[in-house]
Amino acid sequence: MTNEKTAETQVKEKGKIKIDLHRMEMPKQAPCERKHNFDEVATGYTLEMALQESRRCIQCKKRNCVEGCPVNIQIPDFISRMQKNDLAGAARVLKKYTSLPGICGRVCPQESQCESKCTLNKKGVPVAIGRLERFLADWERSQGGAAIPDLTPSTGKKVAVVGSGPSGLTVAADLALLGHQVDMFEALHVAGGVLMYGIPEFRLPKAIVQGEVEYVKKLGVNLKLDYVIGINASMDELLESYDAIFLGTGAGLPWFLDIPGENFNNVYSANEFLTRCNLMKAYRYPEYATPIKMGRRVAVVGGGNVAMDSARCAVRLGAEKVMVIYRRSRAEMPARLEEVENAEEEGVEFHFLVAPSAMIGDGRKNVCGMECIRMELGEPDASGRRRPVPVKGSEYVVETDTVVVSLGTSPNPLIASTTPDLQVSKKGTIVVDENGKSSKARVWAGGDIISGGATVISAMGEARIAATAIHKYLVNIDQ
């Protein structure tokens, strides 16, 4: 490794810090190429790139970036080791705070978390913390997988973790590291939750997710697939065999538009479209047995990250035209800017201030068009965003043969409906205190099941808090 760049990177002289304003870009597949494959879009830093980027960190005394991280990764500590070329040491630091760095490094919205707090962000060029995290995770994987840290002697306490998505995996890993016996239950045939069924391969390769699931299993966590809590065992039955339960069952129930014709063929929920494509690998049909029926003109309704994922899957599945239909304007879109830009580069069209009012059938109950109405922005609503108001008489028809409805989801009611003494909100979320403790004795919860729908990293942050509280409870049982 040569160090020619040292001169223009961080050098401390006479108490003054020179700042390198050149934020290292991450290589990506060109849009014209990636439109035709499901391989990862961003290909990751090379070793040289990563080391050079790491040297931009000025190791601030006040660690604002750590405050911006929902799981409080000691960011300057792992970066300082990278600056000294100590990749193994850097990876060890990282793993102390997250068991899922390959996932976080890819799907966290760093621009609104750690990187937004970075001192260099005052100049608009924060250290690329997320890319460095991703690099370290991938490097560790290329070295034959993560080293298993020394495990705490067994406490003899048993914890059931329900759901194996971001929050479940975090709680399971944290508690296993503390010496508790953890059994993790998953209703689907593969672990990972939304990381497997929701986020597409080209944004988060499934091999990365399974690699991190394997790491959690190596910590001693037992994984039980095809097992539905609320059906195969009730909460009370679980409590007979376990000292504590963590519920991380997510928000899986899709919302629909509730407009005429919504059940026509080729009208999908984003969950179904993405599950067929990602979890069941319909893009490799017939090698994989699950088909996905999609036409040539795809309309995706919604403006979140899931809508972007759906639109970009449709591009890769061979759609000629993919449109995102959103009822507010670009500024109110909840999707990450980076994902919107990626979608635009891949040829996805955005139709702002438009809302569907009815699906039009072809006479054989297949969708062949969508009646839409133009909107304008009125007064702010409860979310603080300006409320879209229909413009009278502005109806028109969007020609489409496949519609993906991506409006959001609410919690699956299965556990709540089979556990009468578990307090839930009107929205169906489990009510918890600041430590993630539910109204039911010995039961904690975190992730989308308490928030109703947020990010992977916020779920992990809530899981971290719950794991700490569960540990505190478990060590105090005998006293």
The reply to whether 473 sits near another protein by the rule CB under 8 A is: no
SS3 181: strand
Long-range Cβ contact pairs of 45-50 (< 8 A, separation 24 or more): 45/131, 45/132, 45/134, 45/135, 47/1, 47/139, 48/1, 49/24, 49/135, 50/82, 50/131, 50/132, 50/135, 50/136, 50/139
Query: What residues from 12 to 31 belong to the interface with another protein (CB under 8 A)?
Result: none
Residue 253 contacts another protein per CB under 8 A = yes
Minimum CB–partner distance for residue 297 and another protein (Å): 18
C-beta atoms surrounding 22 within 10 Å: 13
What does the block give as tokens for 61? 């005394």
Residue closest to 168 by CA, chosen among 470, 467, 468: 467
**Residue from the set 14, 16, 62, 364 that interacts with another protein by CB under 8 A:** 364
Using the rule CB under 8 A, is 371 a contact of another protein? no
Q: Is 41 exposed, middle or buried (0-12, 13-18, 19+ CB in 10 A)?
A: buried
CB closer to another protein, 197 vs 444: 197
Using CA atoms, how far apart are residues 203 and 185, in angstroms rounded to an integer? Answer: 26
- One residue of 151, 225, 389, 431 binding another protein per CB under 8 A: 225
CB of 458 to another protein, least distance (A): 20
The answer to whether 88 touches 94, Cβ cutoff 8 Å, is: no
Residue 181 engages another protein in binding (rule: CB under 8 A):
no
Q: Could you check whether the bond before residue 286 is cis, i.e. omega within 30 degrees of 0? A: yes
Which of 209, 99, 97 minimizes the C-alpha distance to 146?
99
Closest distance of CB 429 from another protein, Å = 16
Distance CA 446, CA 71 (A): 13
Among 377, 398, 414, 454, binds another protein (CB under 8 A): 414
Among residues 13, 150, 287, 478, the one that binds another protein under rule CB under 8 A: 287
Residue (110 or 419) nearer to another protein, CB: 419
Pick from 54, 266, 342, 458 the residue near another protein by CB under 8 A.
266
Question: Judged by CB under 8 A, does residue 252 bind another protein?
Answer: yes
The 10 Å Cβ neighbour count of residue 180 is 25
Q: Which of 63, 106, 276, 464 binds another protein (CB under 8 A)?
A: 276
Q: Provide φ and ψ at 409, rounded to 5°.
A: -140, 165
Residue 414 tokens read as 């299965």
CA 133 – CA 228 distance, rounded (Å): 34
Q: Is 38 in the site for another protein (CB under 8 A)?
A: no
Tell me how far apart the alpha carbons of residues 139 and 213 are, in angstroms, rounded to a whole number. Answer: 17
Candidate residues 21, 289, 337, 431; the one interacting with another protein per rule CB under 8 A: 289
Q: How far is the CB of 216 from another protein (least distance, A)?
A: 20
Kindly state whether residue 379 participates in binding another protein, applying the rule CB under 8 A.
no
The token duo for 129 is: 């913390």
Instruction: Count CB neighbours of 320 within 10 A.
Output: 11
Choice from 280, 313, 372, 416 touching another protein (CB under 8 A): 280
Determine the 3-state secondary structure of 374 from DSSP.
strand
Q: Segment contacting another protein (CB under 8 A): 158-166, 247-255, 342-350, 377-385? A: 247-255
Q: Which of 256, 330, 395, 421 binds another protein (CB under 8 A)?
A: 256
Query: Applying CB under 8 A, does 263 fall inside the site for another protein?
Result: yes
Determine whether 155 is exposed, middle or buried from the number of CB atoms within 10 Å of its CB (0-12, 13-18, 19+).
Answer: middle
Residue 353 interacting with another protein (CB under 8 A): no
Question: Which region among 158-166, 363-371, 456-464, 471-479 touches another protein (by CB under 8 A)?
Answer: 363-371
Position 365 contacts another protein (CB under 8 A): yes
The distance from CA 433 to its chain's CA centroid, rounded to whole angstroms, is 23
**Which residue in the set 32, 231, 337, 391 belongs to the binding site for another protein (CB under 8 A)?**
231
**CA angle, 148 as apex, 144 and 149 as ends, to 5°?**
145
Contact (Cβ atoms closer than 8 angstroms) between residue 91 and residue 139: yes
Q: Is 265 in the site for another protein (CB under 8 A)?
A: yes
Q: Does 412 bind another protein (CB under 8 A)?
A: yes
Minimum distance of another protein from residue 272's CB (angstroms): 4
Residue nearer to another protein on the CB measure, 251 or 469 = 251
By CB under 8 A, tell whether 207 contacts another protein: no
| Binding residue count for another protein, defined by CB under 8 A | 42
Among residues 187, 343, 348, 370, which is the contact residue for another protein, using CB under 8 A?
187
As measured in angstroms, the least distance from the Cβ of 249 to another protein is 10
Taking CB under 8 A as the binding criterion, the range among 74-82, 261-269, 294-302, 459-467 that sits at the site for another protein is 261-269
Residue ranges of the alpha helices (H) in 12-152?
Answer: 31-34, 47-54, 64-67, 75-83, 87-97, 101-107, 114-117, 129-142
Binding site for another protein (CB under 8 A): 187-189, 197, 225-228, 231-233, 252-254, 256, 258, 262-266, 268-269, 271-272, 275-276, 280-281, 286-291, 293, 364-366, 412-414
